[in-house]
Amino acid sequence: MNQSALLRPDWTPATIALMILGFMVFWPLGLAMLAYIIFGERLRGFKRDVNQATDGFFASCRRSHGHHRPHFSTGNVAFDDWRKAELDRIEEERRKLDEMRQEFDEYLRELRRAKDQEEFDRFMRERRNAKRDDNGGPVAEFQTP
């Protein structure tokens, strides 16, 4: 039995013992363990929802950052022009890197799909050969569209 199975959010002897020990040592620990036992299954979904909301918030901040940057002047027109040109160049490079990352992610997805297809085809061939060997003759195959 591994540790994650031992401390799953359920009424197991280990979680009950930890809850009692927590109440004896410092009552908030026991209360936290009780909350984990009762609400632990919901924590996984809650954590996923919070992470998605946080990622969405920060992604929107990053998107809006480039469009609403503060336009303050240093008083030196040449420096302000150079600064604007450099920021535009950096923004263009960031956009290119984002596009390259998306292309690479698509490439990896296609690579995984091809590998999965090859493994599945190999499994089907081995299965077909095993059935043919068991029956001594050809086996009717299921045709996939």
Q: How far apart are CA 83 and CA 86, in angstroms?
A: 5
Residue partners of 24: CB distance under 8 A and separation at least 6: 30
Token pair listed for 15: 């979680």
DSSP letter for each residue of 33-94? HHHHHHHHHHHHHHHHHHHHHHHHHHHHHHHHHHHS------S-HHHHHHHHHHHHHHHHHH
Check if the beta carbon of residue 16 is closer than 8 Å to that of residue 36. Answer: no
φ/ψ of residue 94, rounded to 5: -65, -40
Per-residue model confidence as pLDDT tens digits over 87-138: 999 999 999 999 999 999 999 999 999 999 999 999 999 999 988 877 765 5
Q: What is the per-residue pLDDT for 78?
A: 93
pLDDT at position 48, please?
Answer: 78
Q: What is the pLDDT of residues 68-85, one digit of tens each?
A: 555 678 888 999 999 999
